[in-house]
Amino acid sequence: MKTDIKDFVKYLNEVSDNHCVKQEERLDAFYDFIIRLFSTDSYKPEGFKPDVVTPENEDYINLVSIWCEMVAEEMEMGNSFDLFGQLYEQMFLLKSKASANGQFFTPDSLCRLMADITDADVEENESDRGLVRVNDPACGSARTLLAHFMAKTRKDHSLAGKYFYEAADIDLPTCKMAACNMMIHGMQGKVVCQDQLSLPTPTAIFYINEVRYPFPSGMYSIRVVYPKKEEKAK
C-alpha cells in the first residue's frame, strides 16, 4: 500500500516517541540516522556493516525503508521527490524562522520548469574529469537540483555520472536534508554548510555517493567532514 505524507508523519512521530526525541528535533534526528546508516564508514572489507543497525533501531530502519520506497515510486515515474522539504514546510518551518533565515522553499512546479529550460550541452560544458558541474548556493532541500537531475537523466540514466552537483546553505539541518535527498536520488556531489557571501570556514561538508561513482553501482553513501571543528582543534 502506498504511503502518503500524512502516514509518514504519523510513523515519524511514533518512532520519535519511542526514542524520546523532542518535537522540534524529530526531522533532524532522522537525517542524522540516515547519514550514519549510509556513512562511508559503513562500507567495510566484509561488506555493508552500519553501526546503527541494531535491534533498538529497527523502527528507524523501517522508516528509512518506507522513505526509500516513496522516492523510488516517484523516480520510476520520472519525478524527483522531496519528502523532507514537504515535511519541513508543514511541520517545522515557522514564520519566525522563515523570516530570520530567509527560508522559503521553491515550489516543485517552478523547479521542474527551471530544470526543463536549462538545456546546457554536456559536451560544450564539460569541466575537468569530464563532469558538468551544477551549483545552487542557497539550496534549501536541494529541490531545484533534484529536478535538474531528473530532467537530464529521465530518458537515459547513464548520464547520471556526467553531472556533479554542488549545493550550499547556511542552515545545518537544511544541509543534512539536501544531502539525504541528493544521495537517495543517486546524484554525485557535495553539500557545504556555509554562508556563500562571506565564505567563512564551512561548518560541515557532505560528500555524496562517493561509493557510487565513477564506476556505477547500486550503493549509496554520505561522508561528512567538519572543517570548523578541525580548525578549532589545531
Peptide bond preceding 214 in cis form (omega within 30 of 0)? yes
pLDDT score for 137? 95
For the stretch 202-213, pLDDT in tens is 999 999 999 999
Return the number of other C-beta atoms located less than 10 Å from residue 133's C-beta. 14
| pTM for this model (two decimals) | 0.90
Tell me the residue range of the domain where 17 lies: 5-233
- Give CA–CA dist 14/45, Å, rounded: 35
For the stretch 111-136, pLDDT in tens is 888 887 776 555 445 555 678 899 99
- Give CA–CA dist 2/50, Å, rounded: 27
Residue 225, classed as helix, strand or coil, is strand
pLDDT score for 72? 95
Percent of the chain with pLDDT over 70: 88
Q: Can you list the alpha helix ranges (DSSP code H) found in 49-196?
A: 58-76, 83-87, 95-101, 108-117, 143-153, 172-184
**Residues 177/88, Cβ–Cβ less than 8 Å:** yes
Say how many domains are in the chain.
1
Nine-digit cell at 232? 578549532
For the stretch 80-101, pLDDT in tens is 999 998 888 777 655 455 545 5
Amino acid (1-letter code) at residue 71:
V
Please state the φ and ψ torsions of residue 223, each to the nearest 5 degrees. Answer: -115, 130
Give bridge partners of residue 136 from the DSSP assignment. Answer: 167
- Give CA–CA dist 76/158, Å, rounded: 15
Return the number of other C-beta atoms located less than 10 Å from residue 63's C-beta. 20
C-alpha distances out from residue 119 to 134, 143, 148, 149, Å: 12, 18, 10, 12
pLDDT score for 124? 45
Cα-Cα end-to-end distance for the chain: 52
Percent of the chain with pLDDT over 90: 64
Residues of the chain falling short of pLDDT 70? 1, 92-104, 119-129, 232-234
pLDDT score for 157? 85
- Give CA–CA dist 110/129, Å, rounded: 31
